[in-house]
Chains A and B, each alone.
Chain A
Amino acid sequence: MSLKKYFPVFVMPTLIAFLIAFVIPFVLGIFLSFTEFTTILDAQWTGISNYIKAFSNDDFLNALWFTVKFTAVSVVTINLAAFALANILTKGLKGTNLFRTVFFMPNLIGGIVLGYIWQLIINGVLKFFGVTITYDPAYGFWGLVILINWQLIGYMMVIYIAGLQNIPSDLQEAAKVDGANRWQTLRNVTLPLVMPSVTICTFLTLTNSFKLFDQNLALTAGAPSGQTAMLSLDIYNTFYSKVGWEGVGQAKAVIFFVIVAVISFTQLILTRKNEVEH
């Protein structure tokens, strides 16, 4: 009874905030993807024509393919590097805290700033070859991979460190007594026990890489010829640089949402399976 009485007091603020900031824009967004509009207040229903237009040129599919490639590469590299660093920095070396802080720092810098910084660095190196990052889409691709690695490794490392520190030392000692070498301990004791961290980290890197926008905008802005535009950037360009294509941009955004949701749920389910209780 008293719980019911206090329901509005405790839940309403969050519920209202959730409604205003999430549910309403979300529903409105889906509605707008079926309309033609300039601003969100004067929309005209056009059915699914926006969805047809979204696939009418290659831009969207190219961006999708580029994003998938990028995500696949960066999820692997980020997690491997972050796990390796976490492993080293939990061995009790000198200066561990300093290193942890330093590795974490790039994560505190905004994406646009990072993008411009790396553009300067990469162009500075490529200058010796008389070209810039826009010369070849591959340069843009690897530039983005380096950038996202640099930004996310520190963050993921912190999560892995927390996971590693949670492993009871008696398990590792027991493994040692049983004659397991380092690799075997890592493979059979440590890894299964940090699976929860792996789940979180793959989830975060997967969604972050997939939804990457500001770094992409600042580093290459899609050049050359939109060949390094990721999905978010393509949606943004569709929305703002074509007269009357706002609805199509919205439709692409809805498709984007569905893709992200499907991928991250599948990933969650798959990695959850590998988690063990101790």
Chain B
Amino acid sequence: MKKIASVILCAVMLFMLASCGNKDNPQTDTANKGGAQVYFLNFKPEVSDVYKEIASAYEKETGVKVKVVTAASDTYETTLKSEISKSEAPTIFQINGPVGFQGWKNYCLDLKDTRLYSYLIDKDLAVTEGDGVYGIPYVIEGYGIIYNGDIMDKYFALSDRATDISSVDEINNFQKLKAVVEDMTKNKKALGIDGVFASTSMSGGESWRWDSHLASVPFYYEMKEKDNDSSTLSVAYSAKETEFKYHNNFKNLLDLYINNSVSDKGLLSGKSVNDSMSEFALGKAAMVQNGNWAWAEISNVGGNKVDAKNIGYLPLYMGFDGEEKQGLCIGTENYFAINSKVSADKQKASIEFLEWLFSSETGKKYVNEKLKFMTPFNTFQENETPEDPLAQSVLDWMNRDVETIEWTFSSFPSQEFKNSFGDAMLEYIQGTNSWENVRKSVIDSWKRERA
């Protein structure tokens, strides 16, 4: 009986093996044409579904399969590290600028001769080394202080306001911003808000709006002073040390944020970016520092009270001389790179996919309407820009006669530098450390991480 059973079992297993083998053969044939040729490791979780749609649209049009995997928020490097050592490695991945490129140097293909590179309006934006072009930016983003126009109008309509400023457009330096914000805090009951600024989120992994974005401004000025002719990104990248010269300017705005916040200072370390975006969306705060990517988040908050027509940006004024001419912080942290270690076929297919996405009618439509990217490519006409109000406001600021602040933070030495900056800032905010120590810690960790 047992023997019969085992014979049957063996037969079944053999059959299964054989049938697998049969299926395999024709499949490997088609795999070369229709299998997952392009593997795109996506950085932006907020648009992961859109990329899936794009992938199926592309497959319909060209028959080339595109596999999209999205790394969860804040885990891109981890995911990439494990994915890229697999045999089916990502063919398209992204690096976050010159610093990120150093880590992935051996995996980045030279894209100098691609059409994608030729589309780039400002060739200086690409990540280059020597003659090679290794990272191509695909989205331009801008950040500053987002304000809720309705609440601002309410304030300017107050009869007993202490300032003589009568519209947001008149705020063009730190003194005016401070005067308005502090007066708004005094009148917060009348305005129906809990605080002028949404919570300065400081919980673990959520402090990037301050240790990267806000910090970019003082470092932009410092690096520009060092060398006025080249991009502050490359000056910062080659700087072995920093003085953190404008730490007081940084402190000006940070203090303004935390002293006029929705939450008490001591509780900020429990707040996440989501918390503060929903405070803004629900009208509990009048202002929040973030970039145009935040629109999706604001408009998705249930019961959001922000009027899309009445929302705009203020630059990050910190009390620099002549900051009346300062604009928003505009740049990118998102560069496409093609994996140099996969087969030439796959590389070609990947480049073609990206070129299709940013130059074909279908592709461009997805980019504008679904991904809502402002791209740095000349394939997009002037009317082909995303409709969301924050992106429009960024475009508006780009066209004004102001000096745009670069994303100098993308040349900060390492994530560890930003983390320790954020940690020190948190201690300052909750009152367990002095500002002088924050300054010292920034200077020290820059030196240490650059070494």
By a beta-carbon cutoff of 8 Å, the part of chain A in contact with chain B is 38-42, 57, 119, 123, 127, 129-136, 217, 220-226, 237, 240-245
Contact A225 B415 (CB under 8 A): no
- Set of chain A residues within 8 Å of B202, measured between Cβ atoms: 134
Q: Say if the beta carbon of B60 comes within 8 Å of chain A.
A: no
Contact B103 A41 (CB under 8 A): no
B123 to chain A, nearest CB (A): 25
Contact B269 A130 (CB under 8 A): no
Q: Which of A131, A225, A243 contacts B423 (CB 8 A)?
A: A225
Among B53-69, those with CB < 8 Å from A are none
Q: Say if the beta carbon of B104 comes within 8 Å of chain A.
A: yes
- Set of chain B residues within 8 Å of A220, measured between Cβ atoms: 204
Q: Which of A130, A136, A241 contacts B264 (CB 8 A)?
A: A130
Contact A123 B270 (CB under 8 A): yes
Q: Say if the beta carbon of B396 comes within 8 Å of chain A.
A: no
Distance of A245 Cα from B102 Cα, bound (Å) = 12
- Set of chain B residues within 8 Å of A222, measured between Cβ atoms: 204, 423
Q: Which of B204, B266, B419 contacts A241 (CB 8 A)?
A: B419
Contact B427 A131 (CB under 8 A): no
Query: Could you jot down 29 A-B contacts, CB within 8 Å?
Result: A38-B81, A38-B106, A39-B81, A39-B84, A39-B85, A40-B85, A57-B448, A130-B264, A132-B269, A132-B270, A134-B202, A134-B426, A134-B430, A135-B432, A136-B432, A222-B204, A222-B423, A223-B423, A224-B423, A224-B430, A224-B432, A237-B416, A240-B81, A240-B415, A241-B419, A242-B449, A243-B99, A244-B102, A245-B416
Contact B449 A224 (CB under 8 A): no
Distance of A207 Cα from B433 Cα, bound (Å) = 34
- Set of chain B residues within 8 Å of A41, measured between Cβ atoms: 85
Q: Say if the beta carbon of B414 comes within 8 Å of chain A.
A: yes
Query: Can you name the residue of chain A whose Cβ is closest to the Cβ of B449?
Result: A242
Distance of A135 Cα from B270 Cα, bound (Å) = 11
Query: Can you name the residue of chain A whose Cβ is closest to the Cβ of B80?
Result: A39
Query: Can you name the residue of chain A whose Cβ is closest to the Cβ of B204?
Result: A221
Contact A226 B423 (CB under 8 A): yes
Contact A131 B430 (CB under 8 A): yes
- Known: A134-B426, A237-B416. Is A221-B205 also a contact (CB below 8 A)? yes
Contact A130 B267 (CB under 8 A): yes
- Set of chain B residues within 8 Å of A240, measured between Cβ atoms: 77-78, 81, 415
- Set of chain A residues within 8 Å of B191, measured between Cβ atoms: none
- Set of chain B residues within 8 Å of A39, measured between Cβ atoms: 81, 84-85
B103-139 CB mask vs A (1 if < 8 Å, else 0) is 1101100000000000000000000000000000000
The 8 nearest A-B residue pairs measured at CB: A221-B204, A241-B415, A225-B423, A134-B269, A39-B85, A130-B266, A131-B266, A243-B103
B400 to chain A, nearest CB (A): 36
- Set of chain A residues within 8 Å of B423, measured between Cβ atoms: 222-226
- Set of chain A residues within 8 Å of B424, measured between Cβ atoms: 225
- Set of chain A residues within 8 Å of B99, measured between Cβ atoms: 243
- Set of chain B residues within 8 Å of A221, measured between Cβ atoms: 204-205
Contact B420 A225 (CB under 8 A): yes
Contact A223 B420 (CB under 8 A): no
Known: A123-B267, A131-B266, A244-B102. 10 other contacts (CB 8 A): A39-B84, A132-B266, A135-B266, A224-B432, A225-B423, A237-B419, A240-B77, A241-B416, A243-B414, A245-B416
- Set of chain A residues within 8 Å of B427, measured between Cβ atoms: 224-225
Distance of A48 Cα from B414 Cα, bound (Å) = 23
Distance of A106 Cα from B44 Cα, bound (Å) = 35
- Set of chain A residues within 8 Å of B419, measured between Cβ atoms: 237, 241
Among B190-219, those with CB < 8 Å from A are 202, 204-205
Contact B430 A226 (CB under 8 A): no
- Set of chain B residues within 8 Å of A244, measured between Cβ atoms: 102-103
Distance of A129 Cα from B78 Cα, bound (Å) = 37
- Set of chain B residues within 8 Å of A132, measured between Cβ atoms: 266-267, 269-270, 430
- Set of chain A residues within 8 Å of B106, measured between Cβ atoms: 38, 42
- Set of chain B residues within 8 Å of A129, measured between Cβ atoms: 266
Q: Which of B78, B269, B449 contacts A223 (CB 8 A)?
A: B269
Distance of A174 Cα from B198 Cα, bound (Å) = 71
- Set of chain A residues within 8 Å of B100, measured between Cβ atoms: 243
- Known: A39-B85, A41-B85, A135-B430. Is A223-B266 also a contact (CB below 8 A)? no
Contact B414 A224 (CB under 8 A): no
Contact B269 A243 (CB under 8 A): no
A41 to chain B, nearest CB (A): 5
Contact A223 B84 (CB under 8 A): no
Q: Which of B84, B264, B415 contacts A242 (CB 8 A)?
A: B415
Q: Which of A38, A135, A223 contacts B104 (CB 8 A)?
A: A38
- Set of chain A residues within 8 Å of B104, measured between Cβ atoms: 38
B133 to chain A, nearest CB (A): 20
Distance of A134 Cα from B81 Cα, bound (Å) = 30
Query: Can you name the residue of chain B whose Cβ is closest to the Cβ of A225?
Result: B423
B266-294 CB mask vs A (1 if < 8 Å, else 0) is 11011000000000000000000000000
Query: Can you name the residue of chain B whose Cβ is closest to the Cβ of A131?
Result: B266
Query: Can you name the residue of chain A whose Cβ is closest to the Cβ of B81?
Result: A39
Distance of A73 Cα from B173 Cα, bound (Å) = 54
Distance of A161 Cα from B202 Cα, bound (Å) = 44
- Set of chain A residues within 8 Å of B85, measured between Cβ atoms: 39-41
- Known: A38-B103, A223-B426. Is A242-B420 also a contact (CB below 8 A)? no
Query: Can you name the residue of chain A whose Cβ is closest to the Cβ of B424?
Result: A225
Contact B414 A242 (CB under 8 A): yes
B337 to chain A, nearest CB (A): 13
Distance of A135 Cα from B433 Cα, bound (Å) = 10
- Set of chain A residues within 8 Å of B426, measured between Cβ atoms: 134, 223-225
Query: Can you name the residue of chain B whose Cβ is closest to the Cβ of A120?
Result: B270
B75 to chain A, nearest CB (A): 9
Distance of A245 Cα from B414 Cα, bound (Å) = 11
Interface centre among A39, A220, A222, A245 (most CB of B within 10 A): A39
